[in-house]
Amino acid sequence: MPSGRRRSIVSSGTRSLRGGVRVAVLALLWGSTFLWIELALRGLSPLQVTFVRCLLGALVLTVACYASGRRLPRGRTVWRHIAVAAFFCNALPFALFSLGQQTVDSGLAGVLNATTPLWSIALGLALGSERGLRPVRLTGLLLGFAGTILILAPWQSAGATGWGALAIFGAAASYAVAFTYMGRTLVRRGTPTISLSAAQLIAASGLTAVALPIGGLESIDPGPVVVVAALVLSVFCTAITFHLTYRIINDEGATNAAVVGYLLPVVSVLLGAIVLGEGLSVRVVLGMAVVLVGVGMTRRKDPKATAPGRTSEAEQEDILATTIRQLALETETEELSQPTGRPGTAPGRLAEGTAPRPGPAESGRW
């Protein structure tokens, strides 16, 4: 086997292993988010929980950003995109989760959050970007929403979920909007993901601070459990989890980032049952199963898309990003190899108009 091909296979295997580890860590941290929210709500209001996790998360990622030699993004256009993404991916869903978990158990909250891929497809159908929906995916979409109705049980006057479940469904839908928006406007644009994630949590902190007077000025009860829960929620379940999500969207696409949703219910339900002693009714468990089956059917790949000689949209984006990265690297090498450089261009700097190295080149770093 040629050495070049051998290196390619090894490199591909390494990237696959690294991606699998990221997904596993992300599922564990993200799935435990609902447990820590439940504990933090014992001494903080929903908006206070949202503000604390955004503010401390932003602080952690900003320090990591500058410690890694990066800096925050510049330019009005990118910050406008960041502000929109911060609203739909951080400020709004974080607040809705905290509000919803006042009446919904942490385990069920994780299950309801797994409906994000269903909302993503529904959004694509509404916007016209999801065309040629195959019968199996359509069936999965209908099954998923049938499962959510079974969980909500609108025919019951006093269900176990009520308005809290609606709030969490809204958070899941907001994630679907955010992932699509981030994938199209922010990632693979030459800005490191650590810079984007830090900037987005900074923007989310500002958005949440504006809303604090509405319902975030209540007195707090900062007991030891509440403080620990708030710190773990902010550092691990917000800063690290959010950055890992950005890396997966950047390296593997928004679709693969949604795969984590398969594992969230398992983690959240187990932690809720073991740590908080939460129980689930037969109806809710059946609804959970229907939702997960529906989500799984919607994630089925089209055999035609993986046929020899054809590439999917995500693979085409990967090829394009790789090509751009190689061209930028070659241009940079040529500039650095010139002994005197072009007039007005300092040695070791890229000439004007040269494309910067895109975000995917930061593999292995924050």
Q: Token pair of 350, please?
A: 């890229």
Residue 187: its pLDDT value, please? Answer: 80
For residue 215, report the phi and psi dihedrals to the nearest 5 degrees.
Answer: -160, 25
Nearest Cα residue to 49 out of 238, 182, 198: 238
CA 193 to chain centre: 12
pLDDT for res 6:
47
The whole-number pLDDT of residue 121 equals 76
Half-sphere exposure of 363 (CA within 13 A, CB side): 16
Residue 323 is predicted with a pLDDT of 45
- Distance between CA atoms of 365 and 309, rounded to whole angstroms? 33
pLDDT at residue 353, rounded to an integer: 43
| pLDDT at residue 10, as a whole number | 43
**Which pairs with CB-CB distance under 8 Å and at least 24 residues apart come from 337-345?**
none
Total Cβ atoms within 10 A of residue 8: 11
Looking at residue 142, its pLDDT comes to 80
Cα(294)–Cα(288) distance, integer angstroms:
10
Q: In the prediction, which pLDDT does 184 show?
A: 83
pLDDT (0 to 100) of residue 229: 95
- The DSSP-derived string for 73-92 is --SHHHHHHHHHHHIIIIIH
Q: Write down the residue that tokens 């991916």 correspond to.
A: 89
**Would you state the pLDDT for residue 19?**
56
Give pLDDT tens digits along the chain (366 positions): 555 544 444 444 455 566 567 667 777 888 899 999 999 999 999 999 999 999 999 999 999 999 999 999 988 999 999 999 999 999 999 999 999 998 888 888 887 887 787 787 777 777 766 666 678 877 877 887 788 777 767 666 555 457 888 899 899 899 989 988 888 888 888 888 899 999 999 999 999 999 888 876 777 878 999 999 999 999 999 999 888 877 777 666 655 555 566 667 778 888 888 888 887 778 877 877 887 787 777 766 655 544 444 444 444 444 444 444 454 455 445 545 555 544 444 444 444 444 444 544 444 444
Say what the alpha-carbon torsion angle 100, 271, 280, 287 is, to the nearest 10 degrees.
70
- The pLDDT value recorded for residue 303 is 54
- pTM of this structure: 0.70
pLDDT at residue 143 in the model = 83
How many CB atoms lie under 10 A from the CB of residue 70?
19
| pLDDT at position 79 | 95
Q: Distance (Å, rounded) from C-alpha 251 to C-alpha 183? A: 10
